[in-house]
Amino acid sequence: MKPLIFLLLLTPMLVLANDDEVQDMSDPLAVYTQAGVGVTDKGVNFKVGQSYDTGNEQTAAMNIIETKGLLGDTLGWRSDMRTSQSLDSFRFRNFNVTLPKGQAKQLDINYNFRGSLVADESADISYSFIQALPAHGALSFYPLAGVGLSVGKDRVQSDGGIDDGYALMGSYGLLGMYSKWAISDNIWVNYNPFWLTTLTGSSQYRDNYYGAQESTLLTHEFALSYQLTPRMNLRYFANWNENTDFFAGDHRLEFNYQL
């Protein structure tokens, strides 16, 4: 039932009017109404986003919903231990940009349906700030800092027992950066590293949230993008971390359309 529920949530957002002005889809701070689909090693991803009027001409904002890993046993090419037919994860973002200053605020909610060392299911809820730095030729950098809370379903307690239901597990901090290298008008590369660390919570959460005896994690995201038309692009993504090499990480090919 989980895939059906989330696809029903996405349906109303697909009926959207075209924006009058086409935005630069290579800009990490660009705000626009969009739809996308991705073919991945863990199944199919869907993404829809809608920009909205903030009431302030100097700001722009949008909401984005993503579902990941649907029909992974059928369409993915990872082992059965890493895929399922139902959703792997769900993501919601609220993104607000102050245009003259190149500053952004982001509420980011990631819900993971896959079990871990600390809970049967988990959600990370973070709030972060992003600042665009002056471009250096073809290179642009957007450092980010934020804090978040982790909520677990049927979480594992420090004594090994299971706490049924949902509960707050602890808090974490994150530092990172979005970066862009504009190779040409139609081709660009992104590299986005993020460092996460647990801050508070039970010893089970603090010491094992990012793996056995792992309280911190350095993640990497690489993307190669090609702008087919001003409204359409094709993007290849790779995600890995310090404990998982590039080829064992997550890979996807994503098509995006600006509405």
Residue 87 to residues 32, 49, 141, Cα–Cα distance (Å): 26, 19, 33
Spans in the chain with pLDDT lower than 50: 1-19
d(CA 44, CA 235): 14
Q: Facing residues of 106 across strands?
A: 95, 128
Question: Hey, where are the domains in the chain?
Answer: 2-14+37-258
Secondary structure (H, E, C), 180-227: EEECCCCEEEEECCEEEEEEEECHHHHHHCCCCCCCEEEEEEEEEEEE
Q: Which helix (H) or strand (E) holds 53?
A: none
Which superfamily is assigned to 2-14+37-258 in CATH? monomeric porin ompg (2.40.160.40)
- Predicted confidence at residue 125, as pLDDT, reads 98
- Predicted confidence at residue 129, as pLDDT, reads 98
Instruction: Please answer whether residues 138 and 113 qualify as being in contact, where contact means their C-beta atoms are separated by less than 8 angstroms.
Output: no
d(CA 25, CA 239): 20
Secondary structure (H, E, C), 111-163: EECCCCCCCCEEEEEEEEEEECCCCECCEEEEEEEEEEEEEEEEEECCCCCEE
d(CA 209, CA 218): 13
Identity of the amino acid at 216 = T
Supply the mean pLDDT for the chain: 90
> What digits encode the pLDDT tens for the residues 86-105?
788 999 999 999 999 999 99
